[in-house]
Each structure stands twice: as structure tokens, then as C-alpha cells.
């Protein structure tokens, strides 16, 4: 990795808030040493619409030119059709995925230090001809050719691990066993293999990426009251408890399965470094309650650094200049730290 490779920001769904939160950070000087990936014309139009004083300039993908105060450098990917803010168009699905592919290729070829993703709209990508798409996390797993990844969201306070164990209500790390799938399919997807693989990756990266020497992970049950000894569901007895016993035998500090309704209370969180939730809304509803807009998403288990925002495309806010860019800033700061840790040094971190 060259010592002046930029950090890449994919600008996400073009009709959503991704382009403008990227521009807002650039205008604030928070995108220095970074490059946006998206349609240059779209970014110029959106900057003009928002009245941002910013030069939006194109550079060749792979070049070392990076943004500076008042200047946003863009690696161009062409929109397939023009965009109206707030109005989805499935014709642009391929454009969104192309921005991701450019970022992955650049990270893997050593032309970039890390990638940070602005939000995309899963549904419009599926409708645009990519029926198996379910989210960045799963797409990146496949694009990078790895078997398993972990979605971890953490609030700003918990991202930079001077303190590891839980400190207070806005301090939370939540990882997921299952990610983007219908609730009806969740119970079948919570398997012994899935829990053990995800837990190992989580424990490894809490050590390697967050500097937590002996991570303690609290694991949610799947069913109400963690199954009530099998009376309210058998997944705890049949799957989760055996998986946690195997993990403990390997030396992992995993607690549970604990009833998810009370796990997220101070008494239970006090000695914990991360919570492992069984499904998306079990964990992320709490995380977003604790710190929506002040948290970031990281994909563990990839051969590259990828972080993201904690929110979606917020279509009703697009083009109005009122979206909060803070989570993108948190994701950028995290990506910079993790890239530096991996030796993907950036210019003047």
C-alpha cells in the first residue's frame, strides 16, 4: 500500500441523501485525503442546488489526487439516467453497484486505503435487475470472495476503544448473526455453524481492530425470555447453547443466551464489550435508539476496510440540505483509524 492512497467514499443511491452528505462533509473540510466515487455531473448539480461553495473535480480512478478544503475530487461513474432527488429509478441500480466495484478494486489493488459507503436503496437495486442483492455487507462478502462477514454497528463513543467495556447509554457495539432476511426465515438461519463462525470473527476483530484484549460478548436469545426453557421456542436449547458451549471450550468469553429484552440494560451491559444479536432489528433498534446519527457500521471479516453510515437513503430529505452528515463523518474517522492500523497509511492522518 502506497503511503498516499486516498480513502474512498461511495456516494450511494443517487436519488437519496448520499451525494449531499458527501458534499456537506467536503465543504466542511472533512473529506480531505479522500475521494468520492459517483457521477461528477450529479455531484456538481447537487452542490449547486444546496448552495455549497465547492469545486467538484474529476480525477482518474487510481490517481493519488485527493480532496482538499473547498475541493472535492471525484472518481467518475456515469449515471444511467438523470436523477430527481427523492425519486428512485431502477435504471441506476447498475451505477450504484459500479461505484462499489470501483472501490473494492481500488482497495484490493492498493490504490485506496479504505472504503466508506453512503447509503444505497436495496429495493431499487433488486428491481434494477439484481434479484439476489440484499445489502452492502453481503455484496462485499461475495465481491471479496470470503465465506463469512459480520455486521457490527457501534456508537461513536464505542468505536475508538480507549475504554472497552460498556460505559453508558450512548456507548454500544452490536453485531448480528443474521442480517437482511425476512423475519420468517430468521429462525432457520440461526444455526450452530453461523453462530460459531460469527462469534469467532467478532472476537478476533474486537481484539485486532478495536484493541480489546479479552473481549466479552453477551449473546441474545432468539425467542422471548430466551425460550423459557424450551416452552417458548427450542432454538436456545437446540442451537444457541451448544454453540456457546463450544465457543467457551475454545476460550471465547461468551455469555448467554440472555433474554434480549433485558440484555440491553445497564446491569447486563456493564461488563460487556459487544452484544451479539440474532437478527437485524433485535440489535439495531437498540443501537439506533442509543445513537442514531452518531454511529457507524463496519463489516468485519473482509480483506479490506469498509465502514458505513448508520442510516438509509432518507429519500424525503434528499436535495433539501437538511440531512445530518454526522454518521458519515463518524464512519470516515473510523475508516481512517482502521486503515492506519492496517498500515494503509493515508496522507497526514
Ligand X SMILES: N[C@H](C(=O)O)[C@H](O)COP(=O)(O)O
Ligand Y SMILES: NC(=O)c1ccc[n+]([C@@H]2O[C@H](COP(=O)([O-])OP(=O)(O)OC[C@H]3O[C@@H](n4cnc5c(N)ncnc54)[C@H](O)[C@@H]3O)[C@@H](O)[C@H]2O)c1
Residues at the interface with ligand Y (CB under 6 A): 17, 119-123, 136, 308-309, 311-314, 316-317, 323-324
Interacting positions 83-102 with ligand X (CB under 6 A): none
Residues 310-339, one symbol each (x = binds ligand X by CB under 6 A, - = not), give: x-----------------------------
Q: Is 297 in the site for ligand X (CB under 6 A)?
A: yes
| Nearest-angstrom CA–CA distance, 259 and 240 | 12
Which residue number, 28 or 109, has a Cβ lying nearer to ligand Y?
28
Which residue number, 52 or 151, has a Cβ lying nearer to ligand X?
151
User: Smallest distance, Å, CB 284 to ligand X?
Assistant: 5
User: Smallest distance, Å, CB 4 to ligand X?
Assistant: 27
- Residue 137 interface partner, choices ligand X, ligand Y, none, CB cut-off 5-8 Å depending on type: ligand X
Number of residues in contact with ligand X under rule CB under 6 A:
8
From residue 246, give the alpha-carbon distance in Å to each of 249, 260, 274.
Answer: 5, 21, 19
Where are the alpha helices (H) located in the chain, listed in sequence order? 18-27, 40-50, 93-108, 122-127, 136-144, 156-159, 183-189, 192-208, 235, 241-249, 260-263, 266-269, 280-291, 326-341
CA atoms within 13 A on the CB side of 236: 22
| Nearest-angstrom CA–CA distance, 208 and 17 | 33
User: Smallest distance, Å, CB 306 to ligand X?
Assistant: 8
Residues 125-164, one symbol each (x = binds ligand X by CB under 6 A, - = not), give: ----------xxx---------------------------
- Residue 121 interface partner, choices ligand Y, ligand X, none, CB cut-off 5-8 Å depending on type: ligand Y
CB atoms within 10 A of CB 193: 10
Residue with cell 462499489: 100
Which residue number, 196 or 297, has a Cβ lying nearer to ligand X?
297
Q: Is the peptide bond before 242 cis (omega within 30 degrees of 0)?
A: no
Instruction: Check: CB of residue 72 under 8 Å from CB of residue 36.
Output: yes
User: Smallest distance, Å, CB 263 to ligand Y?
Assistant: 23
Strands of the 253-258 sheet, one edge to the other = 55-59, 71-76, 34-38, 7-10, 114-117, 306-308, 295-300, 150-155, 173-176, 274-277, 216-220, 253-258
User: Smallest distance, Å, CB 119 to ligand X?
Assistant: 7
**308, 313, 326, 344: residue in contact with ligand X (rule CB under 6 A):** 308
Q: Which residues are near ligand X by CB under 6 A?
A: 135-137, 280, 284, 297, 308, 310
Amino acid at each position: 500500500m502506497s503511503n498516499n492512497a486516498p480513502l474512498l467514499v461511495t456516494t450511494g443511491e443517487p436519488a437519496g441523501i448520499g451525494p449531499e452528505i458527501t458534499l456537506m462533509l467536503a465543504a466542511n473540510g472533512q473529506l480531505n485525503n479522500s475521494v468520492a466515487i459517483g457521477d461528477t455531473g450529479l455531484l456538481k448539480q447537487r452542490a449547486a442546488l444546496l448552495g455549497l461553495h465547492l469545486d467538484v473535480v474529476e480525477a482518474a480512478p487510481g490517481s493519488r489526487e485527493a480532496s482538499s478544503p473547498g475541493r472535492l475530487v471525484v472518481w467518475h461513474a456515469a449515471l444511467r439516467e438523470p436523477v430527481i432527488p427523492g425519486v428512485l429509478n431502477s435504471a441506476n441500480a447498475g451505477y450504484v453497484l459500479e461505484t462499489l466495484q470501483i472501490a473494492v478494486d481500488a482497495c484490493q489493488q492498493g490504490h485506496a486505503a479504505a472504503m466508506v459507503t453512503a447509503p444505497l436503496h436495496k429495493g431499487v437495486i433488486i428491481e434494477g435487475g439484481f434479484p439476489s442483492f440484499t445489502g452492502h455487507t453481503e455484496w462485499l462478502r461475495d465481491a471479496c470472495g470470503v465465506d463469512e462477514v459480520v455486521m457490527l454497528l457501534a456508537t461513536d463513543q464505542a468505536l475508538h476503544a480507549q475504554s472497552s467495556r460498556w460505559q453508558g447509554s450512548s456507548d454500544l457495539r452490536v453485531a448480528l448473526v443474521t442480517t437482511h432476511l425476512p423475519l420468517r426465515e430468521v429462525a432457520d438461519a440461526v444455526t450452530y455453524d453461523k453462530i460459531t463462525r460469527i462469534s469467532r470473527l467478532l472476537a478476533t476483530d474486537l481484539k485486532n481492530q478495536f484493541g480489546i484484549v479479552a473481549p466479552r460478548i453477551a449473546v441474545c436469545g432468539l425467542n422471548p425470555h430466551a425460550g423459557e426453557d424450551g416452552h417458548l421456542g427450542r432454538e436456545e436449547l437446540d442451537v444457541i447453547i451448544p454453540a456457546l458451549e463450544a465457543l467457551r471450550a475454545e476460550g471465547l468469553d461468551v455469555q448467554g443466551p440472555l433474554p434480549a429484552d433485558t440484555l440491553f440494560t445497564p446491569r447486563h451491559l456493564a461488563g460487556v464489550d459487544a452484544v451479539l444479536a440474532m437478527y437485524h432489528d433485535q440489535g439495531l433498534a437498540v443501537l439506533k435508539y442509543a445513537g442514531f446519527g452518531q454511529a457507524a457500521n463496519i463489516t468485519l471479516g473482509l480483506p479490506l476496510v469498509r465502514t458505513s453510515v448508520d442510516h438509509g437513503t432518507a429519500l424525503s430529505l434528499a436535495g433539501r440540505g437538511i440531512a445530518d452528515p454526522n454518521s458519515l463523518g463518524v464512519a470516515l474517522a473510523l475508516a481512517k483509524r482502521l486503515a492506519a492500523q492496517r498500515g494503509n497509511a493515508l496522507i497526514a492522518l
